[in-house]
Structure 1
Amino acid sequence: MSFMLVDVDTVRNNRGWFVMLGLAFMVLGLLAILLPFVASLATTIVIGWLMLIAGLIEGYHALRARAWVGAGWELVSAAVHVVAGGLVVAFPLTGKLALTAILAAYFAAEGVLKILRASQHRRVQASGWLVFDGLLSLALGILILMRWPSAAVWAIGLLVGVQLLVGGASMLLIGLSTRSEARV
């Protein structure tokens, strides 16, 4: 995987996919925010599936935009989503401790990966949103660990929803920002 700057033309040529990824993440995030009022087990399973689906969508996006320099890191990010979501779905009854640890690791890894991708997108006007998104994910991971083991399922669902919502907004804004940028 390369750490070169992103080619704005490649992002511009795949703008629709960035917008669709952003919208998908935002919808999944809103769903996750609304789920804390459902039973614990259902919430845990649905959050796991939301994470898994988000990872599959992100993986498809990375494969679809292979020419994009950031595709490799996005594929790693997709794998993090799928593994974390799969673990949550496979082990919903292991209690708050395991779920909290899985989600804290997920947020921390996602935060680091998004900060790395943000440095690749320095030329894209909305790249600051990726920095914000990465820092927020990292902060959410730390917040979960600080409240561990007492973090309730509703709090975890809310945090996942916020992270997906902001992640979707960053992808949406990157996709939309290339529409108005002049070719360099």
Structure 2
Amino acid sequence: MADASPSIREIRQKIEDNWGWFLALGLCLLLGGMILIAAPLASSIAITLLMAAVLVVGGLVQIYQAFRAKGGQMWSLVTGIIAVIGGIVIYTNPLAGTFALTLVIAAVFIAQGVSQLLLGFKLKPHEGWFWVVLAGLVSLLAGVMIWMELPSSAAWAVGLVAGISVMFNGWSYIAIALAARAMKG
């Protein structure tokens, strides 16, 4: 059976042919990220409400599937019910949901930072180990900072993290578009 995935050459050609769209997407994402960062509380609440909606819809679909399937779907039913209840609770109190998301972000940053520090020190004889350690230190410090500033960090952490992520995605599309434009000649 032949591999149906596009080749690197096909992907490059598609990017070169559509570099303007990639640039437009990158600029939109960059602007969107700036907006998220400029209004972190509103962004945090909006993201929390979106997650609540996803939980409710996903939970309802899971409950439906549990009733459609024959036998052995008790865990799916229970998980679906928990997701729906969680989504409703978050929707009715988005600030509490934002607080919970902030706790998760802090915990993930701390765990990621410790993991990267350990990996970086294991890699120490190899070139580039310092950057892994530095990234781990930044993640660890960010997580501790968010954790230590609770509950006030709930007002800005989710929106700031989302904004930074969206901005970096925007920059990556801009870089791809400009490189493709240069290759196109």
Query: Shorter-normalised TM-score: what interval?
Result: 0.3 to 0.5
Larger-gyration structure (1/2)? 2
Higher helix share: 2
